Amino acid sequence: MLKPKDIIISGICLAGCVILAAFYATAYPSHLLWQEQNQIFLNTPHWVATYFDKPAWLGCLAGDWLTQYYHNPVAGAVILTLAIAFCTVCFAIGVRRILPGISSYILTVLFAILLIACSMDAATTLPFYFCVAGGLALGLLQHRVSFGKCRRLDLTPVFVVAAYWAFGFGALISAFLITAFTIKRILRKYMSDRHWFSALCAVILAAGTPAFLSGYYALPYSKALFYPGIAKPALPNYEYEERLAIADAFHDKDYDLTRQLALDAESPNEISAFYYYLSSALQDSLPDNLLKYKIKSLGTLTTIGETSPLPVINMMNDLYFELGDMTYAERAAMMRNVFSPRNRNVRMICRLAEINLVSGDTLAALKYLRILDRTHAYSAWSKKHTPGQMPPDVEADISRRRTLSNNKDNIRLGDNCRNILLELLESNHKNLIALDYLLCTDLLLKDMDTFKMDYDTYCIQKGSPRYKKLYQEALMIYLAGTDVPESEWDRYIIPGPTVDAFNRYSNRRGDPAFKDTYWYYFDKQ
Amino acid sequence: MKPYIYIFICAILAACSHGKPPQMSPSTEKPDIFPDYADVTIPSRIAPMNFNIINDNAEHIYVKVTGEKGGELETSGRYADFDEKKWHDLTTQNIGADLSFDVSVKDRDGKWSRYAPFVIHVSDIPLDDYGVVYRKIAPGYQTFSKTGIYQRDISSFEEIPVLEETAVEGKCLNCHYSNRGRNDQFSIHVRGKNGGTILNNGKNLVYLNTKAPETAGNATYGYWHPDGRYIAFSVNKIVQNFYLDKEHNIEPWDVVSDIIVLDTETNRIITSPVVATPRCETTPAFSPDGKKIYFCLADSVTMPGGYDRLKYSLCSIDFDVKSETFGSRIDTLVCAGDLGKSASLPRPSYDGKYLMYNITDYGTSPIHHSDADLWIMDLSTGESRNIAEVNSDCSDAYHNWSTGGGWFLFNSKRLDGMYGNLYFSCIGPDGKATKPFLLPQKNPRLYYDEALHSFNAPDFITEKIDLDMPEVRSMVKSGKTLDVSVKK
């Protein structure tokens, strides 16, 4: 029978777990999805065997295996909550054997808060918790063995080395626990020489094993000691969650939701602006929405290199892929893969498969699809994208992207996006996404001569003028600033309310009543 | 133990056991296997040639290998996974003879099919090198990837890191060059902050800054002199440009490139105005007698616009060790103008019989050209030919010879057009190369499917490399390099 006190404590713990899981599922789902997308787990013996190449194989294997279920936000929330709960229970058992009564409860609560705070950082992965739990569990087991039935047999070295092998820095936690148990026994004055040896041995081995094995694992000592890495506590980062949610909505091809999330963002930034505009472009409304977002960031003035932040590499990968530049999309995807744990990122492997399907490199695409086929969450996606098994919508999407791709064989001077856009339009002037990005970039730079030149080259000369209100307004500025005959106006401008508005604006330049027009942007922003 | 436990264990074993196929005649069709090992020639020391059946419906495979000179070997399972010791017993017993592989496959419906046997020939040309060394790197892009240099025992599946990026964090590890595969004379370039060249000159390990004020750049592509004192390097300033279409991806080219020779005893650089010109001289290699340096030479063109007119000839120049001087005349062995193509990466066989090199339509980076083919020159006649027996539609490059001669390895992208993998072949007595085979792996299908790296700059090594990782780490961390000087 449980005592009333235990029932109350259990009830509080259970309620805490439910609240925590609910928090992760509702307020932090994109952080969890980010973890899942930032790795890959293959259900093959070969893949599992690679975990033995580094320390902490069990912590990393268990953590990575469960992280793949983060694909479902509820499952992810439950898994993370249980991992934290398991660590806390192990800690509570240990601390209760060392400290009396209330102080053990306080320490346990603080420990739980610390673990929860660590989970707020997007860089904290599930293997961290498994290594903590593994280290605690082995420390407790050592205590049980050393002071239990097998007390004549000192297995401390085995426990500590095993803790390092299986849980990396967890060995330090084991050693800490073993030392704490020993200190307590010293204080209680029933300490034997052998327990001194246990504690000393635990500390020396926890620090020495990584040094001894750092060469074997090809890790510097500092990294080997704390492998796979110590998490840092942080406060909830809702701004980052917001950014991730916008990118996730975009990847789900829910462009309305992407734009809505970007518009509703409490902290609009370059990333929310980027996805707002890219979603607009895919809905053929980039010129209509260019002036509607506070931050003007199309991504066309951004380049990537080895020091670029990961979200920026993701952004550029999405931009190049949607524009149709498969070379640069592949480059960004490769780069993003390289900067992921174990050089693999499931979102980018999907992207690499798509890129190679679009470019017709079927053998390469099949390689990526075979990798995805061995995952839990992407096996169905892989089958849907396998040539010969594609449903009509996937096939149509691949075909559409092929028409947008570059078909010129030439070398390019750099990753200047203007050049990329021009090259794409040379291949296919009907690539409206590239056209809008080109013209809108000109307009954001207020480079009216270049805008006019681009508009002439890809709209007028190709016989497909693009009568968007934004372009009409910009053309009026250009035409009004030059001494062109009226016939030129007729060539570019459709008579109507925009012309009337322009005439009114000309007399009231800078009037905020016109803040939705390009004229106002040109004059005032 | 209670009887029901025995029954339970027997039931499990029975469920797992697929047994041998029933007696049946083979069909005329050969099995579709990965890697394609049918009719390849192997050295007797090679690791077991495990393979998979390319058939989604295949559930179980049974393979019986019979040696022409005797011996048998059986395996069964999801893929052909041979016992290492028994495999080597069989190959050793059958040197100069054929191994016949009799393959039966059980499908998901429990139906067995027996295929026509295929043959692997065990060469009598020995391959005595310990193994191979290579760099694993994400292919073809400007990424400072998490690279590492690894060595692999050729007779087993054991792969051991020589140096991983994790050991020297944030650095880009470049190619490993050794003197005829020796484990005590080699160089590795480390790029990035505190970069330099790790050089083991047979006596001690030093960290060099190979850029002298008088030279155009850092030492890049290297090749050791057979006496182990000198290394011929090209000093290159490399730029990479992307293509518009995805077929080619990327084109690296040299803004500047010259040839130097580094004296590893004095850390002095030997230069000559003959090989340090406004033209592009690159990828040097000493002849086996050490009296010549083969290299590639191109007239400068306006880059990057003239990228497809950048064509390298294969040349040689004398080098005298005693006087530490280059010759005054450059001999052209393969003229780019005559061929309309570009030559790169000359690699002479250590017995002095052959010179292997790459031919591409243009440029100096064959791993980025799907048209890159291996060519071979008979040094006794000066005649060259395309080694069509080993070339594919994808890039075939980064070749080198075994130290005993006869065998060569190269990097080919033929599996998927994207990732370069390691292939082996040998030149038979008739001067023809044998059908190349892919580096064996424990489970080849899984290994090559899951790998997201190329085997970059591979080479044979005669013994296992044992690099003092902490020493290397402290060298790189400190960034304290020895400067080189130019011999006046």
Q: Where are the domains of chain A?
A: 4-225, 237-297, 298-415, 429-524
Domain span holding position B77? 3-122
Q: What is the pLDDT of residue A419?
A: 85
Are residues B276 and B135 part of one domain? yes
Residues 294-313 of A with CB under 8 A from B: 305-306
Q: Which two tokens stand for residue B32?
A: 């579709």
Domain end, chosen from B122, B141, B174, is at B122
Asked if the Cβ–Cβ distance from B244 to A406 is below 8 Å, we say yes
Domain end, chosen from B52, B87, B122, is at B122
pLDDT at B15 over 80: no
Q: Which two tokens stand for residue A448?
A: 């009216």
Are residues B47 and B17 part of one domain? yes
Asked if the Cβ–Cβ distance from B248 to A409 is below 8 Å, we say yes
A444: three-class secondary structure by DSSP:
helix
CA distance B452 to chain A (A): 8
Residue B488 falls within a domain, yes or no? no
Are residues B109 and B210 part of one domain? no
pLDDT at B104 over 90: yes
Closest CA to A62 of A122, A120, A134: A134
| Band (B22; pLDDT cuts 50, 70, 90) | confident
Chain B residues lying within 8 Å of A423, measured CB to CB = 244
**Which amino acid does the sequence have at A260?**
Q
Alpha-carbon span A525 to A286, nearest angstrom: 19
Interval B377-414: pLDDT, tens:
999 999 999 999 999 999 999 999 999 989 999 999 99
Asked if the Cβ–Cβ distance from A361 to B167 is below 8 Å, we say no
pLDDT at B6 over 80: no
Are residues B271 and B415 part of one domain? yes
Nearest to B246 among A223, A327, A412 (CB): A327
Question: Nearest residue on chain A to B246, judged by CA atoms?
Answer: A327
Are residues B221 and B370 part of one domain? yes
Are residues B184 and B69 part of one domain? no
Asked if the Cβ–Cβ distance from A367 to B470 is below 8 Å, we say no
Q: What is the pLDDT of residue A1?
A: 62
Cβ-contact B332, B284 below 8 angstroms? no
Q: What is the pLDDT of residue A102?
A: 87
Asked if the Cβ–Cβ distance from A409 to B470 is below 8 Å, we say no
Q: What is the pLDDT of residue B270?
A: 94
Q: What DSSP element (H or E) covers A25?
A: helix A4-27
Q: What percent of chain A is modeled with pLDDT above 90?
A: 66
Are residues B115 and B184 part of one domain? no
Quote the strand ranges of B123-195, DSSP E: 131-137, 148-153, 159-164, 172-178, 185-191
Q: Return the residue matching tokens 């090594």.
A: B461
Average per-residue pLDDT for chain A: 90
Asked if the Cβ–Cβ distance from A363 to B417 is below 8 Å, we say yes
DSSP per position, A374-391: TSSSSHHHHHHTSTTS--
Cβ-contact B75, B103 below 8 angstroms? no
Are residues B154 and B117 part of one domain? no
Report in angstroms the alpha-carbon separations of A440 from A143, A266, A273, B250, B283. Answer: 68, 25, 14, 29, 47
CATH number at residue B68: 2.60.40.3760
Question: Nearest residue on chain B to A413, judged by CA atoms?
Answer: B241
| Interface with chain B: mutation pick from A43, A44, A46, highest number of B CBs within 10 Å | A46
| Interface with chain A: mutation pick from B246, B361, B413, B443, highest number of A CBs within 10 Å | B246
DSSP per position, B212-254: -TTSSS-EEEEEE-TTSSEEEEEEEEEEEEEBSSTTT-EEEEE
A442: three-class secondary structure by DSSP:
helix
Chain B residues lying within 8 Å of A332, measured CB to CB = none
Report which DSSP code applies to A512: G
Q: What is the pLDDT of residue A414?
A: 67
Asked if the Cβ–Cβ distance from B246 to A423 is below 8 Å, we say no
Chain A residues lying within 8 Å of B446, measured CB to CB = 44-47
Are residues B56 and B154 part of one domain? no
Q: What is the pLDDT of residue A241?
A: 94
Asked if the Cβ–Cβ distance from B446 to A334 is below 8 Å, we say no
Which range among A294-303, B50-59, B337-346 shows the weakest confidence by mean pLDDT? A294-303
Domain end, chosen from B99, B122, B145, is at B122
Asked if the Cβ–Cβ distance from B443 to A45 is below 8 Å, we say yes
Question: Nearest residue on chain B to A212, judged by CA atoms?
Answer: B470
Which of the two residues, A197 and A440, has the higher pLDDT score? A440
Asked if the Cβ–Cβ distance from A412 to B148 is below 8 Å, we say no
Alpha-carbon span B332 to B316, nearest angstrom: 7
Asked if the Cβ–Cβ distance from B419 to A214 is below 8 Å, we say no
Chain B residues lying within 8 Å of A330, measured CB to CB = 141, 246, 249
Q: What percent of chain B is modeled with pLDDT above 70?
A: 92
Interval A113-131: pLDDT, tens:
999 999 999 999 999 999 9
Closest CA to B233 of B194, B268, B278: B268
Report in angstroms the alpha-carbon separations of B162 from A167, A222, B202. Answer: 25, 20, 17
Are residues B317 and B194 part of one domain? yes
Interval B297-349: pLDDT, tens:
998 887 777 778 889 999 999 999 999 999 999 999 999 888 899 999 999 99
CA distance A359 to chain B (A): 7
Q: Return the residue matching tokens 């047979």.
A: B202
Given its phi and psi angles, is residue B180 left (phi above 0), alpha (psi -120 to 50 degrees) or beta?
left
Asked if the Cβ–Cβ distance from A411 to B241 is below 8 Å, we say yes
Which range among A302-316, B173-187, B232-246 shows the weakest confidence by mean pLDDT? B232-246
CATH number at residue B242: 2.120.10.30
Are residues B82 and B166 part of one domain? no
Chain B residues lying within 8 Å of A316, measured CB to CB = none
Are residues B332 and B217 part of one domain? yes
As a whole number, mean pLDDT of residues A243-251 equals 95
Q: Is A316 on the interface with B (CB under 8 A)?
A: no
Residue B93 falls within a domain, yes or no? yes
Q: What is the pLDDT of residue A454?
A: 96
Q: What is the pLDDT of residue A297?
A: 86
Contacts of A15 (CB under 8 A, 6+ apart): none
Q: What is the pLDDT of residue B244?
A: 63
Q: What DSSP element (H or E) covers B458?
A: strand B454-461
Asked if the Cβ–Cβ distance from B138 to A45 is below 8 Å, we say no
Nearest to B138 among A218, A328, A334 (CB): A334
| Band (A234; pLDDT cuts 50, 70, 90) | very high
Number of domains in chain B: 2
A466: three-class secondary structure by DSSP:
coil
Asked if the Cβ–Cβ distance from A327 to B417 is below 8 Å, we say no
Average per-residue pLDDT for chain B: 89
pTM for this model (two decimals)? 0.89
Asked if the Cβ–Cβ distance from A220 to B166 is below 8 Å, we say yes
CA distance A417 to chain B (A): 12
Q: Count of A–B CB contacts within 8 Å? A: 129
Chain B residues lying within 8 Å of A374, measured CB to CB = 449-450
pLDDT at B13 over 80: no
Chain B residues lying within 8 Å of A214, measured CB to CB = 469-470
Residue B250 falls within a domain, yes or no? yes
Residue B108 falls within a domain, yes or no? yes
As a whole number, mean pLDDT of residues A439-447 equals 94
Closest CA to A28 of A242, A254, A312: A242
As a whole number, mean pLDDT of residues A139-164 equals 80
Q: What is the pLDDT of residue A99?
A: 85
Chain A residues lying within 8 Å of B450, measured CB to CB = 42, 44, 46-47, 371, 374
Q: What is the pLDDT of residue A218?
A: 81
Closest CA to A57 of A118, A119, A131: A131
CA distance B125 to chain A (A): 33
